[in-house]
Amino acid sequence: MIRFEGVGKIYPNGYQGLIDINLEIQDGEFVGIIGTSGAGKSTLVRTINGLNDVTSGNLVVNGTDVAKLKGKELRKFRRKVGMIFQSYNLVPRITVLKNVLTAVVPEMSFFKVLFGIFSKEDKIKALEALDRMGILDKAYVRADQLSGGQQQRVSLARTLAQDSDIILADEPVSALDPVTAKEVMDDLKRINEELGRTILINIHHVELALAYASRIIAIKKGKIVYDGPSSEVTQKVLDEVYRKEEDSDPSTSEEN
């Protein structure tokens, strides 16, 4: 379970990314997070695995106080919280299989990482993850030779290979064409339903959020303005959420 208790996030420039966030997300939920650019969507998602620190309040993920994690403990925690990005976050010049195997690198010795020595079990798990994503035939192809949709599937396979209980998706389909975006959303839904993974997706495409997520959290200027079933999201709610804002969210920049 993910629990936010009065969570706030203030950036060094004074911008308030999150304001008094109170949420409980149960295991196995598929949650869509919507809002305008700069509303705080990315900030919310990235606090869950510690990419953004919490300025105030408490954030507990599966019994772990995220704010207290540092160094090795934080890296170990992140193995259970997979993340996929708009830019795929792959190493382009190595094979698909090796990209998936990077999921286990944090637990390996420096010597094994240096020479790329992976266990048989890790390789089998990585190949099984690629098979589940329908791209086993691309295992020995360089990542930069794949289409955008295939690269995003590699990112998903990597989260499966690291046995993530939670998958965070930060704008995972915004760089894809509509057909490919739907295919990736189908993959996320299948992972949620078949494997019981908790999925939180920050997404600009409202129609996709409503079609795939069972729960919608809408954020505006760092505050939650709607939290409920996707089936109950009305046009009035959407009009309120997407009314023009002037503020911007530093977390949406590439370096964050």
Spell out the alpha helix ranges (H) of 133-177.
Answer: 148-161
Query: The domain containing residue 230 runs over which residues?
Result: 1-80+212-251
Q: Is position 178 within any domain?
A: no
Q: Is position 8 within any domain?
A: yes
Average pLDDT over all residues of the chain:
88
Give the span between the Cα atoms of 199 and 189, in whole angstroms.
9
Q: With the CA atoms of 34, 35, 39 and 44 taken in that order, what torsion angle do they form, in degrees rounded to the nearest 10?
A: -10
* Interhelix angle 148-161/178-195, nearest 10 degrees: 20
pLDDT of residue 12 exceeding 50, the answer is yes
Q: Is position 231 within any domain?
A: yes
Give the E-state strand segments of 77-158 in sequence order: 81-85
Q: State pLDDT tens for residues 84-121.
A: 988 888 989 999 998 998 877 656 544 454 456 778 88
Domain count within the chain: 1
What are the C-alpha distances in Å from 115 to residues 9, 108, 110, 228?
A: 40, 11, 9, 49
R_g (Cα) of the chain, nearest Å: 18
Q: Nearest 5°: phi and psi at 34?
A: -120, 165
Give the E-state strand segments of the chain in sequence order: 2-10, 16-25, 30-34, 56-61, 64-65, 81-85, 166-170, 198-202, 215-220, 223-229
**CATH number of the CATH domain containing 231:** 3.40.50.300
Q: Is position 239 within any domain?
A: yes
Q: Is position 187 within any domain?
A: no
| List of residues 6+ apart from 229 with CB closer than 8 A | 214, 215, 216
What are the C-alpha distances in Å from 193 to residues 8, 27, 80, 131, 189?
A: 32, 12, 18, 17, 6
pTM assigned to the model: 0.86
Percent of the chain with pLDDT over 70: 91
Higher pLDDT, 55 or 73: 55
Q: Is position 49 within any domain?
A: yes
Question: What tokens were used for 16?
Answer: 């308030």
Q: Is position 13 within any domain?
A: yes
Q: Is position 118 within any domain?
A: no
